[in-house]
Structures are given as C-alpha cells and as structure tokens.
Amino acid sequence: MNKEQLVASARSMKSKAYIPYSNFPVGAALLLSDGKVINGVNVENVSLGATNCAERTAVFTAVAEGYKKGDFAAIAIAGDTADYLPPCSICRQVLAEFCLPDMPVYLTNANEEILTLTLKELLPYAFTDLEM
C-alpha cells in the first residue's frame, strides 16, 4: 500500500468519528508489517479526559488483534485543518512505545497535501524503554 492509499483510508474514516463536543473529526490509518490496515477515529466523551484520539484507537485495536511492538509500518492522520494535523503528545508517546523511530508518519491537511515525517522527527526526544 502506498502513502496516498493509506492517507485515503484515514480520510475515509473521518465521517465515523464520534465528535458531539468538538465537531473536529480525525481519522487514522495504521499500516502493519503484514500489509493489513487498521483504522481509527477519535471518540469523545463529555468528561474530555476520557476522549480517545484516532491514532490511539488504531494502535490499541492492533494490539487487541495480537500485533506487537515492531509490527507497525506507517500511519496516516487526516483532519480538516488548514495546516498539517499532527498527533497529540499522548499519541506521539504511544506511537513511540510500539513503532520504530524511522517509521513513516503521514500528516495531511484540508487541501489534501501530505507531509511525510519519521516518528523520530515527530518526537525527537521520546521517552523509550532504552532510556530506563
């Protein structure tokens, strides 16, 4: 699967987001090393702290399906923002837990442009198990 297809998968998910409070849909598409794609959306809660982001929804679903650290090949994140939509800091740290530093991260915007970064570029000073 190429990056455009992965981004298209993330974009297609936005309409499934549960966003009654922010009206800010986000879709994510997580490519696994075996070629499977697991999608995620943001799911809000009135308490806000119980809200789950699209990226974490995809990662946690992959883990629940038996995928492990190192099985993640790329992720695309899609929203309707003017600038590129990066993952929040919590999602960045979750990605650092399961993904290799050179994994591609595709950020998109409302103009359907794609910015390609590595996870290390997105989170250069990640807290990892290597630091313990």
Catalytic residues: 55
Task: Check residue 119 and report its DSSP letter.
Answer: H
SS3 31: strand
Helix, strand, coil abundance in the chain, percent, nearest 5: 30, 25, 45
Token pair in block for residue 87: 């993952």
Q: How far apart are CA 17 and CA 116, in angstroms?
A: 24
CA distance 73 to 121: 16
Is residue 88 part of an annotated ligand binding site? yes
Q: Is 99 labeled as ligand-binding?
A: no
Distance separating alpha carbons of residues 11 and 6, to the nearest angstrom:
9
**What are the binding residues?**
53, 88, 91
**What are the binding residues for Zn(2+)?**
53, 88, 91
